[in-house]
Homo-oligomer: A and B are copies of this chain.
Amino acid sequence: MIKRLPDQPTRCEGVAANGFVSTVTVADDNSGSMYQQAKEALANIDKNLEKLGSHKSKILTAVVYVADIRQKPELNRAWDEWADRANPPMRACIGVQLEGKDLVEIIVTATT
Kindly supply a per-residue 1/0 record for chain A positions 74-92, scoring 1 wherever the CB is within 8 Å of any chain B CB and 0 otherwise.
0000011001010111111
Kindly supply a per-residue 1/0 record for chain A positions 51-77, scoring 1 wherever the CB is within 8 Å of any chain B CB and 0 otherwise.
000000010110101001100100000
A103 at the B interface (CB under 8 A)? no
- Bound together, the chains give a CA A20 to CA B15 distance in angstroms of 13
**Is the CB–CB distance between A15 and B61 below 8 Å?**
yes
- Bound together, the chains give a CA A85 to CA B11 distance in angstroms of 8
Query: Inside 8 A of A40's CB, which chain B residues have their CB?
Result: none
Secondary structure type dominating chain A contacts: strand
Contact count band on A: 35 or more
Shortest Cβ distance from residue A15 to the other chain B in the assembled complex, whole angstroms = 5
Binding site for B on A (CB under 8 A): 2, 4-15, 17-20, 22-24, 58, 60-61, 63, 65, 68-69, 72, 79-80, 83, 85, 87-99, 105, 107, 109, 111
